[in-house]
Amino acid sequence: MVKIIIWTIAVVTVLGLVLALVLYLVAKRFKVEEDPRIDEVEKAMPGANCGGCGFAGCRAFAEAAVKAPNLDNNFCPVGGNETMAKVAQILGYEVKEKAPMVAVVRCNGTCQARPRINNYDGYASCKVKAALYSGDTGCSYGCLGCGDCVNACQFGALSMDPETGLPVVDQEKCTACGACVKACPKHIIELRPKGPRGMRVFVSCVNRDKGPVAKKACANACIGCGICAKTCTKEAIVIEGNVAYIDPAKCKLCRECEAMCPTGAIHGVGFPKPLDKDAVKARIKERQLKEKEAKDE
Amino acid sequence: MSKHTFSIGGVHPHDSKISRECAIEQLPLAPVVYLQLSQHIGAPAKPIVAVGDKVKVGQPIAEPGGFVSAFIHSSVSGTVKSIAPRPDLAGNPQMCIEIAVEGDEWAEGIDLSDTLVTEIPEDDKAIIEKIRLAGVVGLGGATFPTHVKLSPPPGSKCEMVIINGCECEPYLTSDFRVLLEKGEQMVVGAAILSKVMGNVPCTIAIEVNKPEAIAHIQEIIGKLGYKGISVMPMKMRYPQGSEKQLIDAVMHRQVGSGALPISVGAVVQNVGTALAVYDAVQKNKPLVDNVLSVTGECFPHQANLQVRVGTPIKYIIDYLGGMPEDAVKVISGGPMMGRAIANLEASTLKGTSAILFLTAKQTLRAPETACIRCGKCAGACPMGLEPFLLYRYAKVNDLEALEQNAAQDCIECGCCLYSCPAHIPLLDNIRQAKGAVLGAIRARAAAAKAAAEAATVTPSAAEGSKK
């Protein structure tokens, strides 16, 4: 009996030692040389693995960043400039500061403004709904309201407002990873610069129908009238396909377009004071009069 | 009882053919019709009339916009009011020609008499050209231009023409009424089709729930003395009327993934198409009307109507007494493959086969529960796919895996959804994913084509520089 125990211990020990040696040699022979900086960069990343940078996860981003000659094409939207500064420090690169972005919902067809003309009782997914038909309102461009963007958001930054039936972005939580942009089959959500102190002006509509058709479907629709483009002194607004678009790079946040928009499709957010439409309109009128006088002279 | 049916999958819903006794009735002309430019598979037609033009019934108003495309003819006489986008049955804007109806004056050369013309013209090419000029498209649902189907690519040989009279979708009775009331014309149309394809045998497939039609068509074939045409009674099974399933049932041949029926020597045409071919070739009458069933348990005035293409759905419903009170859903087509109509102002298309009313109880979708891995969906899929797997891939949008598992072969018949005891929205998700996969395949093909063109251009350019 004792003999069996001794033999067993001996055999297992010898076997263990031999296999350990084999493992040691294999590990030595087939060692994968890996840049130690990859681990360091990965540690500096937020670790959300959201894919917002265009890579499969934070590890994949770290590998790509270490391999790349500079950081121009690699940016972590979630970590933002802070994280990128850390990454640049580890890798000894320079990093260009990027303006922080935020998701904006370009549809303001609330339940009141956009009457429902039929009832959708199919599977609750915007993607499925969009593949079937134009939606339960007269607007074939607007929000379908099934919340694919809310489901796509890993950061809890999106929620459906039950009153308006539209998604709402929590700009504190939004990391601009772009998952909602990809999830929306109607391409309503856009990533825009957050703006100075979170102030920004944008057109909250993507309806490309002609004015009367758009207006009939939704009281808040952009009708492509072009008043905003005419009012804007910075040439920041273009009308394309019956819908206005404000170039964030050119916009100086004067909010004149917002005051002049006849349907209220232009939204200003993050401003400390609510917009005094009459005062702005008076200001525009005065300026236009002066311009006219200068022209006449 | 017949045993002919396809080999895998399928379901057997109650056939609910409640409008089967209603004879075909002519719908009075609507005050205005809207003819959509895209009512067939392929490129949309290009309008050849201008606003303000006077048109007659049967006059071409739009020409094909490509090889796979079709003529569109005015279905009424009157004045062209506008050519503008209008929401279609699904609410999406589509270019439409609006014609205000004035009288009912037909274009010249159209034979409107009832006499049966049995003599078939000699020249095959002339017959196909006549079919093309008449704007005939497949009326079984897919609306594929018929002249394209009748011009097989070189090297392929047709061995059998199958006339699809299965009408396996519940509720639909328009094909059944055509078989009963216009059987002679339909049989001559079938004879024309079999002659054009090289005098091949022709099988008219009719499901056994239409015994009157089977007997009637057999009698007509005997009377007219066609040797090559036969009737094949089919076992009731859905989706027997689908092209690939019908070829399997009749010829016991399987059409490969992405291949056309002609690759196994078959050409399948619907009963309605055969009738349209007869009208086009023997009577010079373009495709300006079709027969559709207006039905549903909650609808008291069931009917099979001969309707001019482009008639507003609302006009048809109002003619038959208006919307039934307890109907919550109006469907274009049958309950299995049809789509809910989002916009009753929209008009019928060449391929509209039915208007079906369903009640809240009938359309109720039970709450979804967890998959119990019973495999019923895989057993029911007539294409041999695994819907439960495709559903999971569709949820995570894995296009590569979807393509490997042949999501693009899905015929959207709905058997998986019908058979699922957990009420999982299988088809809803697979249909959406199929669209994405087909888009990816098309994009890849376009990229490959562009690359091939670039490759052929470069060497010749290099040669040119050498010279």
Interface probe with B: pick from A117, A133, A213, most Cβ of B within 10 Å: A133
Distances in Å between the alpha carbon of B217 and those of B17, B163, B233, B240?
Answer: 19, 12, 11, 19
Mean pLDDT, residues B225-235: 93
A203 and A292 share one domain: yes
Residues A290 and A268 in one domain: yes
Residue A96 has a pLDDT of 75
For residue B73, what pLDDT is reported?
95
CB pair distance less than 8 Å for A123 and B87: no
- The pLDDT value given to residue B466: 44
Residue B465 pLDDT greater than 80, yes or no? no
Assigned domain for A236 exists: yes
Mark yes or no for CB contact B93/A118 under 8 Å: no
**At residue A99, does pLDDT exceed 50?**
yes
Together in a domain, A247 and A273: yes
Q: What percent of chain A has pLDDT over 90?
A: 43
Contact across the interface for B428 and A118, Cβ inside 8 Å = no
Alpha helices in B99-230 (DSSP H): 124-133, 146-149, 174-181, 183-196, 211-224
Count H helices and E strands in chain B, helices first: 14, 17
pLDDT of residue B275: 95
Q: In this structure, what DSSP letter does residue A197 have?
A: G
Per residue in A63-76, pLDDT (tens digit) is: 888 888 888 778 88
**Which residues touch B2 (CB under 8 Å, ≥6 apart)?**
B208, B232, B233, B234, B235
**Average pLDDT of chain A?**
90
Instruction: Spell out the SS3 assignment of B135-150.
Output: CCECCCCCCCEHHHHC
Q: How confident is the model at residue B404 (pLDDT cuts 50, 70, 90)?
A: very high
Residue A81 has pLDDT above 90, yes or no: no
Please say which residue of A132, A152, A187 terminates a domain.
A187
Same domain? A279 vs A220: yes
What pLDDT does residue B267 have?
94
How many alpha carbons fall within 13 Å on the CB side of residue A106? Answer: 24
Pairing relationship of beta strands A266-269 and A200-203 according to DSSP bridges? antiparallel
Q: Could you tell me whether strands B93-101 and B78-87 are parallel, antiparallel, or unpaired per DSSP bridges?
A: antiparallel
Kindly tell me if the per-residue pLDDT of B317 is higher than 70: yes
What is the ipTM, given to two decimal places?
Answer: 0.84
So what's the pLDDT on residue B467?
A: 41
Q: Say if residue A137 is in the same domain as residue A172.
A: yes
**Secondary element (H or E) of residue B203:** strand B202-207
The torsion defined by the Cα of B198, B201, B205 and B211, in degrees rounded to 10, comes to: 130
Assign A101 to helix, strand or coil: strand
Residues A291 and A200 in one domain: yes
Q: How far is A26 from B378, CA to CA, in rounded Å?
A: 46
Q: How many Cβ atoms from other residues are within 10 Å of residue A201's Cβ? A: 27
Q: Which domain holds residue A124?
A: 109-187
Confidence band of A277 (pLDDT split at 50, 70, 90):
confident
Residue appearing with tokens 């979807």: B402
Selecting from B91, B340, B425 the residue whose C-beta is nearest the C-beta of A140 gives B91
Residues of B in contact with A127 (CB under 8 A): 432
| Chain A nearest C-alpha distance from B435 (Å) | 8
Residue A19: inside a domain: no
Residues A218 and A165 in one domain: no
Q: Looking at chain B, which residue has its C-alpha nearest residue A140?
A: B92
What is the sign of the dihedral through the CA atoms of B69, B413, B277 and B253? positive
Contact between A113 and A219 under an 8 Å Cβ cutoff? The reply is yes
Q: How far is CA B457 from the centre of its chain?
A: 41
Rounded Cα distance between A287 and A291, Å, is 6
CATH code of the domain covering residue A55 = 1.10.15.40
How does the average pLDDT of chain B come out, rounded?
A: 92
Give the model's confidence band at A51: pLDDT under 50 very low, under 70 low, under 90 confident, else very high: confident
CATH of the domain at A179: 3.30.70.20
Residue B268 — φ and ψ, nearest 5°?
A: -110, 130
Cβ–Cβ gap B339/A119 under 8 Å: no
* In-domain check, residue A176: yes
Per-residue pLDDT, A181: 93
Closest residue in A to B397 (Cα) is: A183
Q: Alpha-carbon distance A218 to A212, whole Å?
A: 10
What Cα–Cα distance (Å) separates residue B414 from each residue in B109, B242, B374, B388? 44, 12, 17, 13
- Across the interface, of B90, B363, B428, the residue whose CB is closest to A134 is B90
**Minimum CA–CA partner of A128 in chain B:** B432
What does pTM read for this prediction? Answer: 0.84
What pLDDT is stored for residue B458 in this prediction? 62
For residues B59 and B133, the answer to whether their CB atoms sit within 8 Å is no
B425·A123 Cβ contact <8 A: yes
With respect to residue A99, please indicate whether it lies within any of the assigned structural domains: no
Contact call for A140 and B435, based on CB within 8 A? no
Q: What is the mean pLDDT of residues A17-37?
A: 91
Q: Which residue of A has its CA nearest to B435?
A: A131
Query: Does A10 map to a domain?
Result: no
Residue count (chain B): 467
CB A157 within 8 A of CB A174: yes
Mind listing the pLDDT tens digit for each residue in B46-82?
Answer: 999 999 999 999 999 999 998 899 999 999 999 999 9
CA distance B103 to B198: 42
User: CA-to-CA distance for B413 and B380, rounded, in angstroms?
Assistant: 10
Indicate whether A217 and A260 sit together in one domain: yes
Same domain for A204 and A181: no
Instruction: Grade residue B462 by pLDDT with cuts at 50, 70 and 90.
Output: very low
Q: Give A-chain residues touching B91 at CB under 8 angstroms.
A: 118, 133-135, 138, 140
Q: What pLDDT band is residue B348 in, cutting at 50, 70 and 90? A: very high
Residue B405 burial (CB count, 10 A)? 17
How many helical (H) and strand (E) elements, i.e. helices and strands, does chain A have?
Answer: 11, 8
CA distance B334 to A146: 27
CA B100/CA B75 separation, integer angstroms: 11
| Structural domain count, chain A | 3
Q: Closest Cα partner for B304 from B318, B290, B315?
A: B290
> Does residue A200 sit in the same domain as residue A179?
no
The CA distance from B33 to B312, in Å, is: 7
Q: Which residues of B touch A148 (CB under 8 A)?
A: none
Q: Which two tokens stand for residue A192?
A: 């825009």
Is residue A31 in a domain? no
DSSP-assigned states of every residue in B239-267: TTTSHHHHHHHHH---PPTT--GGGGTEE
Determine the distance in angstroms separating the CA of B11 from the nearest CA of chain A, rounded to an integer.
22
Instruction: Please determine, for residue B464, whether its predicted confidence score (pLDDT) is greater than 50.
Output: no
Q: Can you tell me the mean pLDDT for B134-160? A: 91
Give the best residue of B358, B364, B428 to mutate against chain A (max A CB count within 10 A).
B428
Same domain, A206 and A255: yes
Does residue A227 belong to any structural domain of this protein?
yes
How many beta-carbon pairs below 8 A join chains A and B? Answer: 50
Which of these three, A91, A119, A136, is where a domain ends?
A: A91
Q: Do A46 and A124 belong to one domain?
A: no
Band of pLDDT at residue A53, cut at 50, 70 and 90? confident
Instruction: Kindly indicate the confidence band of residue B1, based on its pLDDT and cuts at 50, 70 and 90.
Output: low
Residue range B263-312, pLDDT digits in tens: 999 999 999 999 999 999 999 999 999 999 999 999 999 999 999 999 99
Indicate whether B461 pLDDT > 70.
no
Question: pLDDT tens for residues B247-264?
Answer: 999 999 999 988 999 999
Tell me, yes or no, whether A261 lies in a domain. yes
Mean pLDDT across B424-453: 92
